[in-house]
Structure 1
Amino acid sequence: MKNTIKLIMVVVFVTLFGCDDYLEVLPPGQENTENFFNSAEDYENALIGVYDLLSTTYLNQILGEIASDNSLCGGENPTDVLDWQQIDDMTHNPDNGALRNIFQWMYAGISRANYIIEFKDKTDFDRKNQVLAETKFLRSYYYFELVKFFGGVPMYLDKRISIEEAQSINKSTKEEIYAQLERDLLEVANILPWQQSQPGRATRGAALALLGKVYLYQEKYSDAAQTFDLVINSGQYSLVTDFAMIFSNQNENNSESVFEIQYFGQEGGGFGCFQCVEGNIAVGFMGPRFRSGNYAPYADGFSFNIPSLAIVNAYQAGDTRQAATFFNINDFVATRPDVTFTVGHDHNGYFNFKYIPFAEGNAPDPHLTHSNNYRAIRFADVLLMAAEAHVQGGSAGSAQIYLDRVRDRAFGNTTNRITATLANILQERRLELAGEGHRFFDQVRTGETATIPGFTTDKNELFPIPRIEIELAGNNWCQNKGYSSSTCSEQ
């Protein structure tokens, strides 16, 4: 998929939609679909465009760590990418540009999905049911990201919207959105295959894993446990023996990958249109600021998303995940005396090793076009979510089995097992998934936010709806609690 779908995305969807198709708002009388969706190829190409917006979730990953107690913002100085610095300090407001990007980009993906669904009956072809199932999975993925960040948001289903509709549609509650995601994911899980011919396409396992996550976030523990068990017992996935190999560019789409976002490092892109870039932008932003010497096989970066010493020091002796998760630049330079680097803001000597930039012939800007895939849902993540759901539902036996599998891989033996209590499982999630963008949302949903610097209870559980989006919608949406002095404020 990396070498096929990604290349088609560039050609097809810059032509179809361009770079700035947030809601696909259509001026009256300018809808032009009579020359499209006339063949299977049209539908397949449109679906590629829905996948394409997954590349923008690099930002969701970075902010999911920076907002938590796992990470410091970093960068060159305290004002470098101020939108990220504000989120690190919990001083962000409704004018934060990074939050608006997430809002826009997730809705752009939703709108592309709705475009297909709107014309689902125009032409019949053999793979139509699977195309629609993949489309609904992706729409669910984008909506889930929106709910995680913003809570209740407007829900647009099954068609694009006009300018007038954009100004009259109210926000749905997060409960309403979760209910729709449950319906869609239950439907597509019965259609999608366990395996696809191209890596990165939605599968039954991905749909069930996301459905289980939707249940878990609603504290529907019995439903979550049963759903995760279907994934675990399917026999489709297994843990990679060597933790350090999970994130290797030579080991992408491996046995542990339930859903993996594909990136391509040799396609053009620039700072003027981040949603047009086919490479993994997060990787270049998180790398060390190398300046001279032989630092191969790595490339230099912008030193953002610095792991906190709290998470670096949280691992027990013998836990192989520590060395595989954090890049210690001082140890590296000690073996490469010719290498120099610039010390950035929040520097403590550590960087995210899971997503470190490699020198790989990426072009034209090596900071924007790395090919490291994002492991969006890993089998270890599923095992730990299942363990959590089981222990919350009173089934400690299953929880213990799942926790043991993750711990045994981490230590390479069975002598470091711990009891499957809720606290131990949540701590294991932190250790296992550090640097992968899940930590802040885990902290919020479990109420463990006291260790987040600057966090204000009953406010920072959600991010603010971008102010300009509220204004563009005719001021019909209430702002999230704590971000507005207006009486129109809701959770």
Structure 2
Amino acid sequence: MKKYKFLRILFLAATVSLSMGSCSDDFLDQPALGSLSEDVVANKIGVEKLLIGAYAALDGQGLGGGGAWESASDNWVYGSVAGGVASKGSFGGDQPAIDQIVKFISNPSNGFYNSKWIAAYEGIARTNNVLSLLANVEDISEEERSNLAGQARFLRGHYYFELKKMFNMVPWVDENTEDPKQPNDTDIWPNIEADFQFAFDNLPGTQSEFGRANKWAAGAYLGKTYLYQHKFSEASTIFTQVIESGTNSAGEKYDLVAQFEDNFDAETENNAETVFDVQMVANDGTSSIANSNQGGMLNFPYNSPFRCCGFYQPTQDLVNSYKTKSGSGLPFLDNYNQDPVKNDMGVGADEAFTPYTGPVDPRLDWTVGRRGIPYHDWGKHPGAAWIRDQSYGGPYAPKKNIYWQATQDLYSDQSSWAPGTAINVHIIRFADVLLMAAEAEAQTGNLGLAMDYVNRVRERASNPQGFLKAYIDENSPLTGFDESENAANYNIGLYTASEFSSKENALEAIYFERKLELAMEGHRFFDLVRWGIAEETLNEYFEYQGDITTDVRGGKFISGKSEYYPIPQAQIDLSLNSAGEPTLTQNPGY
């Protein structure tokens, strides 16, 4: 089972909101139903319950209507599918609003944007309630007060970071704001910095429950905030502290776990690599999957042991990225789509198929389900039998979100029409920190240290211990995945100084490594935007992938517009001031 006691993110405090209320379709303007007065909750127990409610909002569920996937905490639509590492999947007529988002042809009335906006501001409202109440709570020590305030401001920083990277110009509402209908005409990066800096300065290194943010999670997020603003020197300084001294909330020093896949197994997560996760649980007694990554409920192979629904299919472009050079074991940075990895498009499940035999990075088969390769311990992926429409979404299936057959009774939840899972959603893990630090070091000229950080990630990926054995049950061996017939040809090597001889070369390698290591974790689109290469990369992706699958045909990234999603029209309509004029301004191009 999960290694540490963790904070169970249940909606324990959803009805204990103060008068500022819960953000809903009326943009923070109405009090929550069943709200309690401050004198009832102005104590240690009350503020703790409010803080748990602020953590509960991390998963974005039940906070504003729409499908659970519209406000999923892993941003699989906005970060991965829109970033070209995954197709929407399923078939064209299912959730067509996603097709508009990933082709960058949607408008402000697309309800997905409103759901995401509402979910983030609900989290902000809950953190503000904690901070407002905390000032009047007397039955706690100053150390406890600092810890609670630090956690609340960490969470608020996270929710605003989500809004900033999604929509750019958004209104800042804090515990001192009297009128929540604020304009979105001020850059909020300084406010986000201040929240994470406060959290870093005030949080302890360890917490009573694993799921609570600690000092070092705040430091990592502060570094990420600097990185997004291109404050590379500041980012380098804080990342160095986190790497050298940081621990997870249980006090275990940050490190890469020996096995890459242990980050995506509920049995082995909450480990040395965990910086900050959204904690998921299964079979929690609620008869629902609300706490079991409900936002990802669509993202399991279709017509399979998982029942539903065939979304979130890795792209051919992503799969090709894992090819490696036979000699060095390094990736093909510039021409990875030449000589693509063999797939089973158009090959029936009852027809013979031999998987690709060229050298590949082993992370491919912990990230992507492909025909003929074992799908965890569920047997070999059968290909078309588990794919809803190959011509639309391609031949592949997601894998990082898939629970194991052997432990499904513990870590899957079958309380709904699609599965839930206890596998956590990673907001930041230590491999991410190392690669962000590598980027900061490369940008400031420390190319050797940047290379060391990247190689540390690649060296872990090359660790063969248990990789093949994990697929082989001695009582029922999965023939063909050991060293014999159809064995995957895994080959991964480390960079040398020649590949990191200039800042430009180093950054190209670092950017690509983030694609390989963090694929299907919701980062890709936002990385491309902050690097300034989204237009070139995504339009090349549309051209290449569009020749293979129909889902992205007609997609086009437009510089100056597509970097940010539109402010939801519903929120603009609800932001009217006393003069009948909206206080929110739409992003350029919409």
TM interval, shorter chain, is 0.7 to 0.9
Structure 1 CA distance, aligned partners of 2:369 and 2:381? 14
In the alignment, the residues of structure 1 paired with residue 270 and residue 50 of structure 2 have an alpha-carbon distance, to the nearest angstrom, of 23
Distance 1:35 1:311, change over 3 A: same
> Which of the residues 33, 37, 49 maps onto 1:33?
37
Cα deviation, 1:258-292, whole Å, max 9, x if unaligned, reads 1111012224476xxxxx9222024421110134x
* Aligned with 2:389 (options 344, 351, 362): 344
Q: Which amino acid aligns with 2:14?
A: F
Counterpart among 176, 199, 204 of residue 210 in structure 2: 199
The CA distance in 2 between the partners of 1:115 and 1:232, in whole Å, is 33
1:395 and 2:446 are equivalent in the alignment: yes
- Distance change (3 Å), C-alpha of 1:337 and 1:386: closer
Q: 2:196 aligns with which of 179, 185, 191?
A: 185
Partner residue, 2:484 = none
1:71 positional shift: 1.4
**Counterpart in 2 of 1:486?**
none
Shift of the alpha carbon at 1:43?
0.8
State how 1:33-182 maps to structure 2 within 5 Å.
33-56=37-60, 57-58=72-73, 60-75=75-90, 77-124=91-138, 125-126=140-141, 127-159=144-176, 165-167=179-181, 169-174=182-187, 177-182=188-193
CA contact (8 A) 2:12 2:49 kept: no
Aligned residue type for 1:100: N
String of CA shifts for 1:366-416, please: whole Å, max 9, x gaps.
525322111110101000100101110111122121111011112239953
Partner of 2:307: 300
- Counterpart code for 1:440: F
Pair 1:407-2:458 in alignment: yes
Gaps of 5+ in 2: 61-71, 247-252, 325-358, 465-491, 501-505, 543-555, 577-581
2:241 to 230, 235, 257: 230
Aligned length: 463
Q: Quote how far apart the aligned CAs of 1:340 are.
A: 4.6
Equivalent residue for 1:461? 563
2:293 matched residue in structure 1 = 280
The alignment-based identity, stated in percent, is 32
Tell me the SS of whatever aligns to 1:58.
Answer: coil
Q: Which amino acid aligns with 2:281?
A: F
Mapped partners of 1:266, 1:329: distance in 2: 31
Unaligned runs of 5+ in 1: 271-275, 484-491
Task: Give me the CA root mean square deviation.
Answer: 2.8
The aligned amino acid for 1:67 is: A
- Maintained 8 Å contact 1:60/1:102: no
Taking structure 1 as reference, are residues 322 and 441 closer, same or farther at Cα in structure 2, changes over 3 Å only?
same
* TM-score calculated relative to the size of structure 2: 0.73
Q: Deviations over 1:47-100 (max 9, x none)?
A: 00000011124362332101112111112x212112212112211110111111
**In 1, Cα distance between equivalents of 2:425 and 2:570:** 30
Post-superposition shift, 1:336? 7.8
Q: 1:302 to 1:329 in 2, by over 3 A?
A: farther
One-letter amino acid of the structure 2 residue matched with residue 469 of structure 1: Q
Cα distance between partner residues in 2 of 1:357 and 1:437 = 19
> Quick one: which of 214, 219, 227 aligns to 1:216?
227
Q: Which whole-Å CA distance do the structure 1 matches of 2:30 and 2:114 have between them?
A: 21
2:479 aligned with 1:479: no
Name the CA shift for 1:428/1:143 in 2 (closer, same or farther; >3 Å): same
- 1:93 is paired with a residue whose SS is coil
Shift of 1:219: 0.4
Alignment CA distance shift 1:129-1:455 (3 Å):
same
Structure with higher Rg: it is: 2
For the 8 Å contact 2:300–2:310, the answer to whether it is kept is: yes
CA-CA distance at 1:357 after TM superposition? 4.7
Q: Which residue of 1 aligns with 2:401?
A: 355
Amino acid in structure 2 at the alignment position of 1:12: A
CA distance in 2, matches of 1:145, 1:89: 21
Which residue pairs with 2:433 in the alignment? 382
Task: Describe the shift of the 1:111–1:160 C-alpha distance in structure 2 as closer, same or farther (beyond 3 A).
Answer: farther
1:376 & 1:59 partners in 2: Cα distance? 7
Give the direction of change, closer, same or farther, for the CA distance of 1:150–1:319 in structure 2 (3 Å limit). Answer: same
Kindly provide the CA deviation profile for residues 230-267 of structure 1, in whole angstroms up to 9, marking residues without a partner as x: 11011520001111222111011111011111012224
Q: Secondary structure at the match of 2:275?
A: strand
Q: Distance in 2 between matches of 1:98 and 1:222?
A: 36
Superposed displacement of residue 172, structure 1: 4.1
Q: CA deviation at 1:37?
A: 2.9
Residue 204 of structure 1, CA deviation = 1.1
Cα distance change, pair 31–160 in 1 and its aligned pair in 2 (3 A)? farther
**Aligned partner of residue 571 in structure 2, secondary structure:** helix
Whose helix proportion is higher, 1 or 2? 1
Code of the aligned partner of 2:537? T
The CA deviation at 1:115 is: 0.8
> Helix, strand or coil for the counterpart of 1:152?
coil
Secondary structure in 1 matching 2:321: coil
Partner residue, 1:487: none
Q: 2: distance between equivalents of 1:12 and 1:116?
A: 11
Whether the 8 Å contact between 1:269 and 1:369 is mirrored in structure 2 is no
Q: For residue 338 of structure 2, what is the aligned residue in structure 1?
A: none
Aligned letter for 1:277? Answer: A
Query: TM-score, normalised on structure 1?
Result: 0.87
C-alpha displacement at 1:215, in angstroms? 0.4
Which residue of 2 is the match for residue 428 of structure 1? 513
